[in-house]
Structures are given as C-alpha cells and as structure tokens.
Amino acid sequence: MRIVHIITRLIIGGAQENTLLSCEGQHDLGHDVTLLTGPPIGPEGSLLQRAQSYGYKVELLENMHRAISPRKDFAVYQEIVRRLRELQPDIVHTHSSKAGILGRYAARKAGAKAVIHTIHGLAFTASTSPIVNHVYKKLEKRAAPLTDKIVCVAQAMADESLAAGIGVPQQYVVVYSGMETEPFIRPPLPRAEIRKQLGFTDEHIVVGTIARLFHLKGHEDLLDIAAALCRQFPDLRFLWIGDGILRPRFEQQMQQMGLRDRFVLTGMVPPQQVPQLTAAMDILAHPSRREGLARALPQGSLAGVPTITYDIDGAREGVIDGRTGFVLPPFDKDKLSASIAALAADSDLRRRMGIAGREFALQRFAASTMVDALQKVYLGVL
C-alpha cells in the first residue's frame, strides 16, 4: 500500500513515538510510506532525525505549526492537497488535532481512497480555555464525517468522543499505542549500574515518574505527599524523568521543604535512555490529570515495575488494578500516598505486580501488535 501519515510536529512525545513506530513497522512490511510533518518546534526535543534516518520518506511542511494561524493553516492545507494528489496514496492516516483536521479535509479534496485518524488525546479537553475547547469540539465534529475509521489509543477516548457527538460508533476502533519492548526488558545498562550513576543504593526505594514538568502532570501532588512519606520511609527517593517550564518552581519547593536531596531530576533525556532509567525504579507513579493512555504506564510495566495512576481517561486500560498496580480515584492524594506506602513497605508485592505487569504489557502494547492491528484496519477500509 501507499501510506501517507500526517502529524503536526515531531517533538518527543507519545503521539509522535506512536506515529514513528507505525511508519517504521509499515516500511518494514514493504509498504510505500511517506510522513508529512511540521518543524519540531518546542522545548520537548525532536524526533525528526530518527524519522529521516529510517528509510521511508519524510517531508517537512514549514508552515505547519501547533498554534492557530488562518493564513499559514490555509497554505499548509493547500500544500497537503497538492502533495496528496502527486503521491496518490491508498491510505491517509492523520495524527494530532491540527494535522488531523487539515489533513482530513485535504485528503478528501485530493481524492484519497481511505482516510484514517488517530485520537492520541482529546483536543477538546486540552485547553484551560472553554472557548478553545468548544472550537476544537466543533472542528472535530465537522471532520468526523470525512473519516473512514477513527483509531483510539484507549476505549475511553472513543467513549468520550461519542459522548461529545463526534462521529458514530461504527467509525471507532481501539488500537493500543505500541512501543519497543526489548529495551525495557533488557535495558542497555543494568539496573545496578544506572542506580549507582543516579546516586541510589540497594536500600533506596525509588518512586519514579516519566512526564514533562508541566501543568496537569501531577508533580504537585507528589510534592504534597513527599514529606510525610519521607518521614515514614527514610530510604525513599524520587526520580523524575523529563523537563519543562515548571522545573524551577518545583526545585524551589523541594529546597524549602528540606527534601532536595530526596529528588533526582534527570532533565530532558533521549528516548533511548528511558528504558534503563525506568529499570532503576521500584515504583512508577503517574498522577496526571489528563491523558489519552499514558505511555509511562506500560513502560513501567515492561520494566517490571508496579504502576500507580489516577482513574482518568484511558488509565485503567494500562493498569490492572490490584494486579499490576493501583488505579486510584481521581486526584485523591491520600490514596496516592497510601498506595506508594503499601508498595514501599512490601518488596514481595512489588515483585508480584512487576511480573504480572510485564506479562500484561507485552500482550497489549508491543509495537508489532499495533502495526498488525493497523494493517487490519487499513485492509478492512479498502
């Protein structure tokens, strides 16, 4: 098949990694794959070089930016129409809100055989502005009839979209976001070595997070409960993987609490380092307030680490409550603290949940499983 993927930008993020793994897997199967994307502008880091080095075609749309700009957006739309007419793809597969809307309209204008869109996170709940969310909901409603299949990374995404009046049930299909599993099972550096580099001893119990230091990611909740947990468990340590605009504020708060030595902040790291850093953890906590289905959850499970999450969006599809970790009432910091304490106090419980989590994640979140599922969606539509 001739397949064109369209995404707004290739920053380091879950939607972007999902898209690249799709492109790579389809290229490996012998399909003719082209990826259209805008410049990877943002503090999160870039995946553009990885995309350009794999072997499929990557084309940069200079005017494609996340921010809304009617003049530039119309120019991008026209450029996508032109390229799709030249490429004549069997499948146009769009990702992210901006590219999803422009790409679907362009695909229909260009006469594409089939149009697929993946919802990685809900665009109409992403902003703190009700007006912006209303606009995105309206745009998504109008784009839905242009779409043959709407792929969701969690059933919760489909349910919430349908409740908002976007599309019809028969359009929706769930394909869980895939990831490379081998680096988490056999990380490049062994656990003992990476823990030593990070300053952790064998006695330390490490609670890790994998998330941007940004609003709604839940780091504030961890800081609120950290003092009491550290008094209860003198060997407790926190490992935060990621960077962002809130880092100075968090570091200042840690200092004021007298807990700066209890936290290790890695800053931004290349994606290939995430598996070994995850293996250094004993517990993964992801108290985010908004997600599609956070990749951090299966990443923790693949590394053999029990995971803790609030019950928001697709989180319960990434954790089996009581078996691979804990799914907590949304934003219940007391339950968050109690769950961390229960795991910190019981190494056998951590081991059992880690084993069960790895088995579960291997079945549901392998990249090959995702690529095979997308192949069935494409063939079904064609």
Give mean pLDDT in consecutive 10-residue pieces for the chain, a chain of 382 residues.
96 92 98 96 86 97 86 94 97 94 97 96 76 89 97 94 96 96 94 96 97 93 98 98 94 97 94 94 95 91 98 94 97 97 98 98 96 98 96
Span 2-178+366-381 CATH architecture = 3-Layer(aba) Sandwich (3.40)
3-state secondary structure of 340: helix
Do 2-178+366-381 and 182-364 share a fold?
Answer: yes
Superfamily of domain 182-364: Glycogen Phosphorylase B; (3.40.50.2000)
pLDDT of residue 69: 83
Q: Where are the domains of the chain?
A: 2-178+366-381, 182-364
Q: How far apart are CA 317 and CA 108, in angstroms?
A: 33
C-alpha 176/C-alpha 353 separation (Å) is 21
* The CA-based dihedral angle spanning residues 352, 357, 359, 361, taken in that order and rounded to the nearest 10 degrees: -170
With beta carbons less than 8 A apart as the criterion, state whether 213 and 354 touch: no
pLDDT at 310: 97
Reading the block at residue 27, the tokens are: 């290229």
Give yes or no for a contact between 280 and 190, defined as CB atoms under 8 angstroms apart: no
What distance in Å separates the CA atoms of residue 301 and residue 312, rounded to the nearest whole number? Answer: 18
* Cα 113 → chain centroid: 29
Residue 254 sits at φ, ψ, to 5 deg, of: -60, -40
The pLDDT of residue 5: 98
348 SS3 class: helix
pLDDT digits (tens, 9 = 90+) for 94-137: 998 899 999 999 999 999 999 999 999 888 876 667 888 888 89
